[in-house]
Structure formats: structure tokens, C-alpha cells
Amino acid sequence: MAHVTAAERRPQLIKAAIDLMTREGVAAGSTRAIASELGVAQATVHYTFGTKEDLYRAVMEQLTHDLVTQVKASAPADAGFEETLTALVAALWRTVREQPASHQLLTELSMFALRTPSLREALEGHYREVTEVTALLVTEAAERTGHRLALPASTIARFFLAGFDGLTMQHLSLPDEEAGLPGLQALVSSVVALAGGKLDLVRIPSV
């Protein structure tokens, strides 16, 4: 049998882990089960990744990369600021509707990482990357269209992602396209207003 290098085995194991945990959940993703999914020895997983947590980290990175790539590819080249944001949001929402299992797995891994000290860095990296990419897309859209941002792009990105994560969880928990659309429209409108300085921020005394 031909020798397979760790570099070649790595993407195979990541895919096997994603396939397995998408079907059966994160709790089922032991190194033994993942090895069985690919048809290799359990030792192969540890040789390639070191620990189960290292493999989980790679899975989170791969899922994030795949989603970000899809959204980036949808960015229009000649639309206005609002139209650009609307197109990006539509593309991201399309991944929620068409690939709910990927978003569910990312959510499960995030909750698991919160209780796993060795994965906290991976979780922080995931949110940092998503926030930075979102902020970059907002910045590029503003620069291309001559739209002056009233707040830092990172603030706008965090606001959008907080709302979008909530809408995603609602969709995964209780899918309702008719009820979900107004919420998505309200989020986009709020982001556009916030970016343009047309959304007044109230003072919260306890903060």
C-alpha cells in the first residue's frame, strides 16, 4: 500500500470529521470514530494532528474558510454601498438556507470550545477572522462607492454579526422563511443606517 503523507492525510481527516460530526454531532467526534469514518487506524489521527482538539481546531478553520470564500465571491464590483451590503448579506443567508448543517456544526463546536480551554484560542481566532473579513468587506464597499463610515468598520461588523448570528440560530431552531425575511431586512437596514450615521446610539447607564 502506498504511503500517504501527513500533509495529504490532513484534508482527508478534516473532511471525515466534518462528515461524521455533521451527521451525528460533535459528541460523536472521537478520534476513533473519525479514523473509522476514513478507514484508517486511530493512530493516524494522532500522528497527523496530535490531539483531538487540534483536529477540531482545523475543522473550525475549514468551515470558516469555506463560508468566507463563498461570501467573498458574491461581492459585486460596481454596485452602491447599500446594494453591496445587501448582496453580501443575501449570499451569507443563502449559505444558512442551503448549508444549515455547516452553520449548526460551527455553533456546536463554538459551544464545545467555550468549555475546552485548549480550544478557546481557536474560537477566538474564528470570531476574529469572521469579524475582520466582514469589516474589510464593509471598508472596501465604502471606499469604492465614496461612502463615509460614521463608525469604525469593526464596530459595524460586530453589530452585523451579532444580529446575523441571532437570526441564524432562529432559523436553525424554528425555520420560517416568511417570518425570517423581515428580521433580515431590518438587520440590513440597521447596518446601513449605523454605517451612515443615521442610527442614534442611546446611552446605557449601567455600561
Domain boundaries, the chain: 1-50, 57-195
Residue 1 has pLDDT above 60, yes or no: no
Residue 2 has pLDDT above 60, yes or no: no
Closest CA to 4 of 44, 32, 34, 36: 44
Q: Mean pLDDT score of the chain, rounded to an integer?
A: 88
Q: What is the pLDDT of residues 186-200, one digit of tens each?
A: 999 999 999 999 988
Q: Are 103 and 96 in contact (CB under 8 A)?
A: yes
CATH 1.10.10 fits 1-50, yes or no: yes
Predicted TM-score (pTM) of the model is 0.84
Could you please state the CATH topology (level 3) that the domain comprising 57-195 is classified under: Tetracycline Repressor; domain 2 (1.10.357)
The vertex-41 CA angle with 52 and 20, nearest 5°, equals 55
Concatenate the DSSP letters of all residues of 12-68 into one string: HHHHHHHHHHHHH-GGG--HHHHHHHHTS-HHHHHHHHSSHHHHHHHHHHHHHHHHH
Helix 6-24 to helix 100-114 angle (10° resolution) is 100
Closest CA to 17 of 2, 36, 4: 36
Q: What is the pLDDT of residue 3?
A: 67
